[in-house]
Amino acid sequence: MKHIKNFRLPNFLHGADYNYEQWLEYPEILEQDFTLMKEANCNVMAVGIFSWAKLEPEEGVFNFEWMDNLLDHLHNNGLKAILATPTGSKPVWLSKKYPEVCRVDINGNREPHGIRHNHCRTSPIYREKSIIINKKLAERYKDHPALLMWHVNNEYNSGDCFCKNCLEAFQKWLEKRYGTIKNLNRAWWTTFWSHTYSDWKEIEPFDKSVQGLMLDWKRFKSDQTLDFFLTESEPLREITPDTPITVNFMEPDVELDYWSFAPYVSTISWDCYPKWHREKNDHMEAVKTAFYHDLYRSMKDQPFMLMESSPNVTNWQGISIPKKDGMHELSSLQAIAHGSDTVQYFQWRQSRGGEEQYHGAVVTHCNRTETRVFQGVKKVGEVLNNLSEICGSNTDSEVVILYDFHNEWSINLTQHARNIDKDYQKECVEYYKTFWERGISVDIKDFSCKDLSRYKIVIAPMMHLLREDIDKTLKEYVKKGGVLITTFLSGYVDETNLSYIGGAPGPLKELTGIWIEDTEILNENNTQTFTYNSKIYESTHFAERIHAESAEVISYFNTPPLKNCPSVTLNRFEKGQVYFVASRTSEQFKRDLFNDINREINITNHYPNDLPDGVTIRCREKEGYRYYFVMNFNSYPTQLNMEGFTLYEVHTNNLINNELDLLPYGIRVLKNRMN
Ligand code: GAL
């Protein structure tokens, strides 16, 4: 399928999921809501997300009047509609008449009707019915002036369905991938435990002891979800070719390869629900959230959309602590700082019943505007209006972290000497933190990235499943003078999860100039340290016994049995340099290593002074201006020394060249002309 045209918003959006279909019996609510939306400075609503049963109450019987009314109201009140296809949740009549649309569990039991996001993604009936309703929506609203973009389905997920249709589709998918059953057996190493298959039809995705099978099952589910998305969105592309399309992603741990969706959506959008105020401080939560924002910005190298966030609490966590004063504005603008052009919420009006009746909402059951939450939302709307010149601006990064979904699946499903706390994502986020703390912008790419030449440094932790193409891309990059940091647990398996003959780091041996003998698993009774630049650092979790070949050893482990074994090496490969870090290291080591490397590569830092703990800066650039988002994730006020800078606060145009005060959970947005 052809890739879709990218789309950039002309102005910041501020709004929410508006589930008006829940309020059809309360006509006064519609009128009141539109008054309140204007008061809250909203200019967009995402509508129709789970409204299939209201749009098609019986098979083939459609009722669009309420949606007509809603879209007309939006338009007449100057708001835009992000119109959803309603297929994220199925109507009861559909499950009852066509049980095949419900998923089948591992015991062969068909799930009863209920919940949401749980249709069978292969079912021909579900596909057919989705196309019908989506086509009707597109035909009816193609010229409606409120229609801004399509929001297809909702938060696709990777849940299992073991129905006959899915199994057959999986077997066909495998046939296409491997060609012959012999190739498949070889790729999955099925001689082990007598798991050899002799026919495609014998293959079922139940056997957790065949890692290649499990990995392919995850890939299949991801591909099949993409295929479902492309199928259900076909009428939208045909009938409204100029209307942008998005699907709202979640945190990247749902086992979908979101990178494969990126070429087929006009803009990336995602739903962000950090767990604020749960830890001693919010620093790590802020770092992790920033990493996710950067991941989604990097997917299309253009601004993304914050499609959902909670204006207050969620109601699906063990505990969810209401946002402290300042946090709503800070977390909303954090998304903007990292490249979002929207701030949107779930949901506009709190439901009276149902699963999310006590989830945070802009208008809560008390139905008043003097609430902390409503006033906080209103303020964010005002702030976005004041910052409107920033919409559409870009982010420039000289640093990239490689974080790859297939690699994560492989790390998690392969049985190692350590099977807990492998923490691939966490390791990537910890490297990311080094840059967050200094206010240096970072891109996140995956192993399908073909060109890294624009970066001064590439950090690729734990490249367990090392695809040959990324090895090639890295070689090209390093040859020309690039700097790469990679770590323990790299180059273990190929694309099908088979260990490389000759051991780890597989094809990376050439780049790293080392080979790996085995791994010490560390815990409180088996500890390890290493000395680097005369300082002692602790290793945790993994410490590999490596041997340097062409690499120079720049640090050694201290404790038997790894005493005097290399812990960090540097290999000069043509014009570039490759660092290999053989163990999981502390944040301090990551910082110090980068500092040393940075003396040579000099990463651009728009605020080169030290930042206080918990404070960060992110920049966006547009039309000759650089915008600085200075964020304080501390519960106490702090200050930044701005001597030597000539920056102006965006909304007041006041010159800031002295102390910059930051409130608790405070944010200031400044700008200057770029040289
Ligand atoms: C999202 C979902 C919304 C709502 C929200 C609550 O994941 O898309 O429909 O359920 O969570 O936090």
Is the pLDDT reported for residue 637 higher than 90?
yes
What is the mean pLDDT of the segment spanning 236-240? Answer: 98
Give mean pLDDT, residues 267-289. Answer: 98
* Residues sharing a CB contact under 8 Å with residue 338, sequence separation 6 or more, in sequence order: 290, 293, 294, 297, 395, 618
Residue 576 has pLDDT above 90, yes or no: yes
Structure token pair of residue 373: 């939450």
Which whole-number Å values give the CA distances from 87 to 21, 424, 578, in the listed order?
15, 33, 48
**For residue 672, pLDDT beyond 80:** yes
The 10 Å CB-count burial string (b at 16+, else e) for 501-521 is eeebbbbbbbbbbbbbeebbe
Binned at pLDDT 50, 70 and 90, residue 662 comes out as very high
Task: Verify whether ligand 1 is closer than 6 Å to residue 154 (CB atom).
Answer: yes
Q: How confident is the model at residue 206 (pLDDT cuts 50, 70, 90)?
A: very high
For the cut 80, the answer to whether the pLDDT of residue 675 exceeds it is no
- In angstroms, the CA 251 to CA 113 distance is 26
- The mean pLDDT of the chain is 97
pLDDT of residue 524: 97
Asked whether the whole model's pTM tops 0.85, one would answer yes
CA of 225 from ligand 1 middle (Å) equals 19
pLDDT per position as a tens digit, 460-496: 999 999 999 999 999 999 999 999 999 999 999 999 9
Cα gap 530→555, rounded to integer Å: 7
Q: How confident is the model at residue 530 (pLDDT cuts 50, 70, 90)?
A: very high
Gap from CA of 346 to ligand 1 centroid (Å): 6
Digit-coded pLDDT (tens) for 165-187: 999 999 999 999 999 999 999 99
CA angle 480, 484, 489 (to 5 degrees): 140
- For residue 293, pLDDT over 80 is answered with yes
Helix (H) and strand (E) counts in the chain: 18, 27
308, 323, 345, 362: residue to mutate for ligand 1 pocket, most atoms within 8 A of CB: 308
Task: Let me know if 155 is a catalytic residue.
Answer: yes
Tell me if 320 CB under 6 Å of ligand 1. no
Ligand 1: centre distance to CA 291 (Å): 20
- Predicted pLDDT at 253: 86
Burial class (CB in 10 A: 0-12, 13-18, 19+), 491: buried
pLDDT at position 642: 93
Distance CA 48, CA 128 (A): 19
Tens digit of each residue's pLDDT (9 = 90 or more) over 509-520:
999 999 999 999
Hey, which of 346, 349, 356 would you mutate to test ligand 1's pocket, going by the most ligand atoms within 8 Å of its Cβ? 346
Encoded tokens for 236: 């939208």
Q: Tens digit of pLDDT for each residue in 38-49?
A: 999 999 999 999
Query: What does the alpha-carbon distance between residue 119 and residue 302 come to, in Å, rounded to a whole number?
Result: 32
Share of the chain above pLDDT 70, in %: 100
Using CA positions, which residue lies closest to atom 9 of ligand 1?
346
Tell me the CA–centroid distance for residue 177 and ligand 1, in Å: 35
Classify 668 as helix, strand or coil.
Answer: strand
pLDDT in the model for residue 2: 84
Closest CA relative to residue 16, chosen from 446, 351, 476 = 351
- Is pLDDT of 197 > 90? yes
* The pLDDT value given to residue 620: 98
Cα–Cα distance for residue pair 503/516, rounded to 1 Å: 7
Whether 547 has a pLDDT exceeding 90, the answer reads yes
DSSP conformation letters of 466-507: --HHHHHHHHHHHHTT-EEEEESS-S-B-TTSPBPTT-TTTT
